[in-house]
Amino acid sequence: MKIPRLTDTTLRDGSHAISYSFTAEQVREIVRGLDKAGVPVIEVSHGAGLNGSTIQQGFSKTPEVELIKAAVETAEHAKIASLFVPGIGTSEELKEAVEIGIKVIRVAVHCTEADVTEQYIRLAKELGIEAVGFLMMSHTQPAEVLVEQAKLMESYGADCVYVVDSAGALVPQGVRERVSALKKALSIEVGFHAHNNLGLAVGNTIAALEAGADQLDGTVRALGAGAGNAPTEVIVAALNKMNIDTGISLSILMDLAEEVVAPIIPAPIVIDRDNLSSGYAGVYNSFLLHVRHAAKQFHLNPTEIMEELGRRQAIAGQEDWILDIALELAKEKKYQVIK
């Protein structure tokens, strides 16, 4: 079985879980550990990607430019990557990140909107960096639709396309179907990014590898949106058990998880009622903090809001629906009480 390339996204996806509060010193310490362990790619940006520090997405404690600089200056071997979401980031932020020193950009869109990635993937290649396509919310579409979208990204010059389980809603069979379909249809690499809302992040990651995935994602101590991601250290341990030598030091990763990352986490990352309802309903993981705030404001159960978001098939960028739905549900409850 092919040895996959691992990307650690603690310093991007993990920022959702700590309300975008990473400091430059924390970035240096985590990058230092990941780099020493031999992790080949480390993703650093706001959780919503370049230029994501906004009132809608959540403001960063430290400007992401400073965090990316800290990562680039610290890494001796690993490539530094950033996430880019068209409509949130612009070409200017992408160019600035390349000037700072990122080597990989991961262009993320809803899995039916690959056409809007063209100018950014082409720009990335013009700027001389690796371009990765991210098909978010991949659970919402069958394999054949993902193939069509991935082929578009490939035609724009992408070096890899990811099946992204943004809501932690996929099960192993669905992962295998999607990853194997992309592998058969594309001449470029295929990746997989998991979330753990159904408790399947590591299992799904292994399923993706067995289906031919070339690149896999994880976060140290599972630090990520919702119920977190597949823990990088657990992925490495599992691969070691499978006699797949990634060249990454498990002992260094375990020390990093226990001594550096764990103290940063404000609360244990568990599959609680809210996270399970998000994965079961197939709702984008980064919605959770906003859902909890709205539920508290309108005296609702977060699960009620999650279920309605799932029924409406909400996607990234539709965070404004959360308040609208909460208000509608609160009015409906009040009407039923009065009636």
Taking the chain, what is the end-to-end CA distance rounded to the nearest angstrom? 63
Give residue-wise pLDDT tens across range 25-40: 999 999 999 999 999 9
- Average pLDDT on 321-332 reads 84
Indicate whether 337 pLDDT > 50.
no
Give residue-wise pLDDT tens across range 188-230: 999 999 999 999 999 999 999 999 999 999 999 999 988 999 9
Looking at residue 334, what is its pLDDT? Answer: 60
Q: 48: closest CA among 120, 114, 127, 109?
A: 109
Residue 298's Cβ-side half-sphere holds a number of Cα atoms within 13 Å equal to 23
Structural domains for the chain: 5-264 (3.20.20.70), 273-338 (1.10.8.60)
Annotated binding site for Mn(2+): 13, 193, 195
Looking at residue 338, what is its pLDDT? Answer: 47
Indicate whether 326 pLDDT > 60.
yes
The residue type found at 328 is E
What per-residue string of b and e applies to 217-238 under the rule 16 or more CB within 10 Å gives b?
bbbbbbbbbbbbbbbbbbbbeb
| Residue 208 DSSP SS3 | helix
Looking at residue 339, what is its pLDDT? Answer: 42
| Stronger pLDDT, 286 or 151, i.e. the higher one | 151
Q: Is the Cβ–Cβ distance between 239 and 193 less than 8 Å?
A: no
Annotated binding site for substrate: 12-13, 166, 193, 284
Distance of CA 139 to the CA centre of its chain: 14
What pTM did the predictor assign? 0.91
What residues are labeled active site? Answer: 16
Q: Dihedral of the CA atoms 309, 311, 317, 321 (nearest 10)? A: -50
